A and B are shown apart, each in its own frame.
Chain A
Amino acid sequence: MAAGGGIDPIHQFEIKPIIGLRPFGLDLSFTNASLLMVAIVAVISVIMIYGSSQRSVVPGRLQSFAEMIYEFVASTVTGVMGKEGMKFFPLVFSLFMFVLFANMLGMIPGSFTVTSHIVVTAAFAFLVIGTVLVYGVVKHGSHFFGLFVPSGVPGWLLPFMVLIEAVSFVSRPISLSLRLFGNMLAGHIALKVFGGFVVALLAAGGAATIIAPLPLLLAVALTALEFLVAFLQAYVFAILTCVYLNDALHPGH
């Protein structure tokens, strides 16, 4: 991990090709990020598909875990969008699981955090907003844009309100992607920095060596916090997805 003589907290975000692929002059190499993405899908598939393959009425360990996640996401979806929101359940579920396991697998030392790259989180955010727009327009036509026109606003205020609503709508994918990206990036940098402090203090020798355990304790606490953040950000992403999709289901305030 040490690059250039010091401990580089950015090194962990580097993308390294494993199998080179360059069709049409585009770099589509299978990288460490791609490997983690495949691993994420594999882990989720093992839990959800292998876990439910017994179809037992009295579930085993893995099956009850799969059922627990299913019911957790399903209750989130129906809680925000109601029963009809279940048509978006596979999307919300896939997003939640992908983000959750991207965050969790990223916590394994030496691995890679897929969600610490803004292009990934932005792709998810635009997928959500794209779904909202396409579904909203297909389902409700021009009525969908009533979303930007709050009811019960005096006429002279309406242009401003429409502007504000439009800005808030446009800022949704940005905040959605930046929140996840920023949390994962900052958390991993902080962990690495504190880890680096331990090494640096130990290397310095003398009195510095004695206080070296302090950043180690902090790093341990931060690791616990990062696990919490990893889950929480996946949940926040899923619930905001539900809230935005709810606009497509029921436009108008």
Chain B
Amino acid sequence: MPVRSSRSVRQGWAGFVASGLTATLVAGAAQAATPSLSGEKAAFPPFDVVTFPGQLFWLAITFGALYWLMSTIALPRVGAILEERAGTIARDLDNAARMQAKAEETALAYEAALTEARKNAQGIAQASRDAGAKASEERRHAVEAELATKLATAEATIAATKTSAMSNVRGLGSEVAIAIVEKLTGQAPSATEASEAVDQVLARG
């Protein structure tokens, strides 16, 4: 237990109060430590004024050295490292962004080319389809025309055949009529009379 030191502090405080000085706690503490100046041992060490110059002296040296080391070597160096890293990261990110933009551009170009090709293919298909349709149409027309010609020829042949058949029928009719009349009357009519009579019958129906 801090019996010895607390007593000395208490004595110091008593002395301090008795002295009637208005001072801060620090000054009071220094007051408390005053006896040690006069050689008495066991002052509270933190308030032992005797040690102050030495402590301040070494503190000034060490803290000055630390400040110098930090401000001229350590901090600029660490700051530079951090800056460099930030720069590297930013540069890498930039590069990555640029690469990505490039890739997207390429993808777009590819897409466009693909669309173009598709459109071309469609055009070609349409054109060939049109050409095919046109060709078949032409052929159809040609065939139709040919068929029409054949039909006309056939019709003409039929008509000619029919006319000749009809004239044959008339000739045959007058001959039959002459033969019938001759059989009935015993007297043959002239060919002209017979053919007139046949014409009359034919015209009636």
B203 touches A (CB below 8 Å): no
Main secondary structure of the interface of B (DSSP, over half): helix
| Other-chain residue from B29, B53, B62 in contact with A38 (beta carbon distance below 8 A) | B62
Q: What is the total of A-B residue contacts with beta carbons within 8 Å?
A: 152
CA distance A181 to B25 in the complex (A): 12
| Other-chain residue from A30, A31, A123 in contact with B56 (beta carbon distance below 8 A) | A123
| Other-chain residue from A6, A13, A27 in contact with B50 (beta carbon distance below 8 A) | A27
Are A93 and B55 touching (Cβ within 8 A)?
no
B1 touches A (CB below 8 Å): yes
Are A28 and B57 touching (Cβ within 8 A)?
yes
CB within 8 Å for A97 and B70 given contacts A6-B1, A40-B62: yes
CA distance A53 to B50 in the complex (A): 41
Are B71 and A90 touching (Cβ within 8 A)?
yes
Q: Which one of B39-47, B148-156, B166-174 is at the A interface?
A: B39-47
Q: Which one of A66-74, A211-219, A242-250 is at the B interface?
A: A66-74
Are A118 and B1 touching (Cβ within 8 A)?
no
Q: By the criterion of a CB under 8 Å from any partner CB, how many residues of chain B are at the interface?
A: 45
Determine the chain B residues whose CB is within 8 A of the CB of A67 once the complex forms. 78, 81-82
Are B5 and A10 touching (Cβ within 8 A)?
yes
B22 touches A (CB below 8 Å): no
Are A57 and B66 touching (Cβ within 8 A)?
no
| Other-chain residue from B1, B55, B77, B84 in contact with A119 (beta carbon distance below 8 A) | B55
Instruction: Give B84-124 interface residues, CB cut-off 8 Å to A.
Output: 84-85, 88
Instruction: Give A58's nearest chain B residue, CB to CB.
Output: B85
A122 touches B (CB below 8 Å): yes
Are A41 and B62 touching (Cβ within 8 A)?
yes
Determine the chain B residues whose CB is within 8 A of the CB of A4 once the complex forms. 4
Are B4 and A28 touching (Cβ within 8 A)?
no
Main secondary structure of the interface of A (DSSP, over half): helix
Which residues from chain A sit less than 8 Å from chain B, CB to CB?
4, 6-10, 13-15, 21, 26-31, 33-34, 37-38, 40-41, 44-45, 48-49, 52-53, 55-57, 59, 63, 66-67, 70-71, 89-91, 93-94, 97-98, 114, 116-120, 122-123, 174, 177-178, 181, 185, 189, 193, 196
Other contacts beyond A37-B58, A66-B74, A118-B47: 18, CB < 8 A: A6-B1, A13-B45, A15-B48, A27-B53, A29-B54, A31-B58, A33-B54, A34-B62, A37-B62, A41-B63, A49-B77, A52-B74, A57-B81, A67-B82, A94-B63, A114-B59, A123-B60, A181-B46
Contact sample, A vs B, 24 pairs, CB 8 Å cutoff: A9-B1, A10-B2, A10-B5, A13-B46, A15-B45, A15-B55, A28-B57, A29-B54, A31-B51, A31-B55, A45-B66, A45-B69, A55-B77, A57-B81, A63-B81, A67-B82, A70-B82, A114-B59, A117-B55, A118-B29, A118-B46, A174-B25, A178-B25, A178-B26
